[in-house]
Amino acid sequence: MFLPGLNILGKIGALEIVLIVVIALVLLVILWIILISNSFKRNIVKIQEADSGIDVALTKRYDLLTKALDTARAYAKHEKETIYEVIKLRQGMTLDEKANAAAKLDKMGNNVNVLAEAYPELRSSEVFVSLQSSITDSEEHLQAARRLYNSNVSQLNQRLVSFPSSVIGRMLNLTQQKFFEAEQQKTQDVKISL
Amino acid sequence: MDNFITEIDKMRKEMLRSFILSFIPFFAGMLTAITIHIVSYYYQLEIKEYIGYAVAVFIIGMAISIYLSIFWATSKYKIYVSKYKNEIVKSSLESVFANVVFEPEKCFDKEFIAQTFMIPIGNVFKGDDKVTAEYKGVQFTRCDLTVQNVTSTGKSTSVVTYFMGQWIVLDFHKKIETNLQIREREFNSAAKGFGLFSRAPKMEYVKTESIDFNKKFAVFAEDPHSAFYIITPHFMEVLFKLQAAIDGQFILGFVGGLLHIAIHTNQNVFQPPIISAVSPTEKDKMLAQTYIITQLIDELNINLIRQEK
């Protein structure tokens, strides 16, 4: 069957063919750049989502721990020693500040357990037992948020150091991100008021 | 227990004997028909006169065999299977689990399994040996399930087995609101694709921080945070142990707050032996099949966490 378009091929010279191939290659490269840069952007969004997840987990854990301490107040009325709460959670904390806060919350959690050991009647309080269970669950959620964040950061960092995606990363001025690491007692002891 | 095993094994032998005896009329009829044919040929008798007798004898023999196998041998088989399941299987389960309810003829509904999107659902769905019981306060339900897809083109019939093995459902102590699947990579029959036109919830592939775990298992989750919440390093260790202990492949699915475990072994685990003898180690064989349940609950301390709550 005669196809009129095919007739044109016979009239195209070598130069034109080379030009077509070059244009096709350029288009492919442009498409590849677009795909890689979009995937980098998606990666960044996932890291931001995971970061937000850490905030949510930290806030929840903080709320539960303060409720547990409020419950403990009723049982530790005769306690004379006063210790102060110095944990501050706020919007827009850096990763180091969050790690610092997480470490303080760990210490706070330990103090809650110490109080429970010191006051048996507190241990048998249903509200307190329920809170302890929720605190354990919130710790697990915080760990999950941390691991998800680190997983996304790891993926981004690997792509930024691997060729050829590293070329696109540099074009987009992307830099390797820090991992969320659990801080080990860098700060002063947490003080809790009863 | 030995006398009891001997008694059940006698039933098995009677059942086998009844099947063999059922076929005797068929073979007798066939032999008679052949003899009539040979004799008439040898004595140069008129074959047309005697062929009617030969065919009649053959048909009568076959009819008697069919009758005996349906109404006699099959009933012996059902009695044997029922005795085996209700006595050996149930007593084995009751030695480990509490509040055992054993329903040999029942299994999960097709829709209940389909809504997990863990395996493809073909056009053949059959199951039996439903057990509901408790282990250390944790209730679970399991049954033996076979899911196949049978296609016939007229000239040939093709049977693809998607799943054959145990399906276990238990109440996991961690609750997530989204779907999560953990698949052993060797499980080739797992439901494929959470694509645009699929009814399945949209799940994405999640890579954990463990290279070994990622090599052996593939994780799909609607919410990656839930995946990391469930799949802790300890949970990964438990799955490695289970993979080493199970002779088959498995998928875990968290659906609607329940944990589904599908163990594909290509066998129906609570079926009694037919040809081989019923041995005193039957109980151990039964208990070996429930290993995964006890291991999961023990290793993950599900019962302890439940008590704390």
Residue B216 burial (CB count, 10 A): 15
**The pLDDT value given to residue B262:** 93
Per CB-CB distance under 8 Å, the chain B contacts of A132 are: 308
Q: Does A123 touch chain B (CB under 8 A)?
A: no
Residues A104, B109: Cα–Cα separation, whole Å: 50
Per CB-CB distance under 8 Å, the chain B contacts of A113 are: none
Q: Measuring CA to CA, how many Å separate A90 from each of A21, A87, A93?
A: 56, 10, 6
Contact A160, A148 (CB under 8 A): no
**The pLDDT value given to residue A23:** 95
What confidence category does residue A190 fall into, taking pLDDT thresholds of 50, 70 and 90? very low
Per CB-CB distance under 8 Å, the chain B contacts of A140 are: 174, 229, 232
**Closest alpha carbon within chain B to A149:** B225
Q: Which residue has the higher pLDDT, A141 or A71?
A: A141
> B229–A150: do the CB atoms touch at under 8 Å?
no
Per CB-CB distance under 8 Å, the chain A contacts of B228 are: 143-145, 147-148, 151
| pLDDT surpassing 50 at residue A194 | no
Contact B257, A180 (CB under 8 A): no
> B209–A151: do the CB atoms touch at under 8 Å?
yes
Q: Which residue has the higher pLDDT, B309 or A102?
A: A102
- Could you tell me the pTM of the whole model? 0.80
> B209–A155: do the CB atoms touch at under 8 Å?
no
Q: Which residue has the higher pLDDT, A178 or B38?
A: A178
Question: Which is it for strands B157-171 and B204-206: parallel, antiparallel or unpaired?
Answer: unpaired
At position A172, the amino acid (one-letter code) is L
> A151–B228: do the CB atoms touch at under 8 Å?
yes
Buried b or exposed e, range B246-271, using 16+ CB within 10 angstroms: bebbbbbbbbeebbbbbbbbeebbbe
- Can you say whether the dihedral through the CA atoms of A123, A128, A133, A136 is positive or negative? negative
* Closest by CA position to B35, among listed B13, B6, B58: B58
Rg of chain B's alpha carbons, rounded to an integer? 26
**The pLDDT value given to residue B46:** 66
**The pLDDT value given to residue A92:** 74
CA dihedral of A46, A51, A52, A57, whole degrees rounded to 10: 130
pLDDT tens digit at each of 309 positions of chain B = 567 788 888 888 888 888 888 888 888 888 888 888 788 777 776 666 677 777 888 888 888 888 888 888 888 888 898 888 888 888 888 988 999 999 999 999 999 999 999 998 889 999 999 999 999 888 999 999 999 999 888 888 889 899 999 999 998 888 888 899 999 998 876 666 555 556 778 889 999 999 999 999 999 999 999 999 999 999 999 899 888 888 889 999 999 889 999 999 888 878 888 888 888 787 787 777 777 788 878 887 765 555 544
* Side-by-side strand order, sheet with B124-135: B98-103, B124-135, B138-152, B157-171, B258-264, B249-255, B180-184, B217-221, B204-206
Of the spans A145-149, A182-186, A188-192, which averages the highest pLDDT?
A145-149
Q: Does A25 touch chain B (CB under 8 A)?
A: no
Q: Which residue has the higher pLDDT, A77 or B130?
A: B130
DSSP annotation of B84: I
Bridge partners (DSSP) of residue B151 are B158
Q: Tell me, rounded to whole angstroms, the distance of Cα A146 from its chain centroid.
A: 5
What confidence category does residue A192 fall into, taking pLDDT thresholds of 50, 70 and 90? very low
Q: Does A64 touch chain B (CB under 8 A)?
A: no
| pLDDT surpassing 90 at residue A30 | yes
| pLDDT surpassing 70 at residue A184 | no
**The pLDDT value given to residue B218:** 94
What ipTM describes this predicted complex?
Answer: 0.79
Q: Measuring CA to CA, how many Å separate B243 from each of A65, B115, B238?
A: 38, 25, 9
Two tokens at A73?
A: 């107040």
Q: Measuring CA to CA, how many Å separate B229 from each of A20, B224, B233, B239?
A: 52, 9, 10, 15
Q: Does A153 touch chain B (CB under 8 A)?
A: no
Q: Tell me, rounded to whole angstroms, the distance of Cα B233 from its chain centroid.
A: 31
Q: Which helix (H) or strand (E) holds B151?
A: strand B138-152
**The pLDDT value given to residue B222:** 93
| pLDDT surpassing 90 at residue A2 | no
Contact A180, A150 (CB under 8 A): yes
Q: Which helix (H) or strand (E) holds A67?
A: helix A14-73
DSSP annotation of A178: P
**The pLDDT value given to residue A189:** 43
Residues A52, A46: Cα–Cα separation, whole Å: 10
Residues B210, A114: Cα–Cα separation, whole Å: 34
**The pLDDT value given to residue A193:** 45
Residues A128, A112: Cα–Cα separation, whole Å: 10
Over residues A110-135, the mean pLDDT reads: 80
> A148–B308: do the CB atoms touch at under 8 Å?
no
Picking from B209, B225, B308, the nearest residue to A150 by CB comes out as B209
The Cα of B230 is separated from the nearest Cα of chain A by a number of Å equal to 8
- Burial class of residue B306 (count of CB atoms within 10 Å of its CB; 0-12, 13-18, 19+): middle
Q: Measuring CA to CA, how many Å separate B29 from each of B34, B36, B60?
A: 9, 11, 7
The Cα of A47 is separated from the nearest Cα of chain B by a number of Å equal to 12
Bridge partners (DSSP) of residue B163 are B147
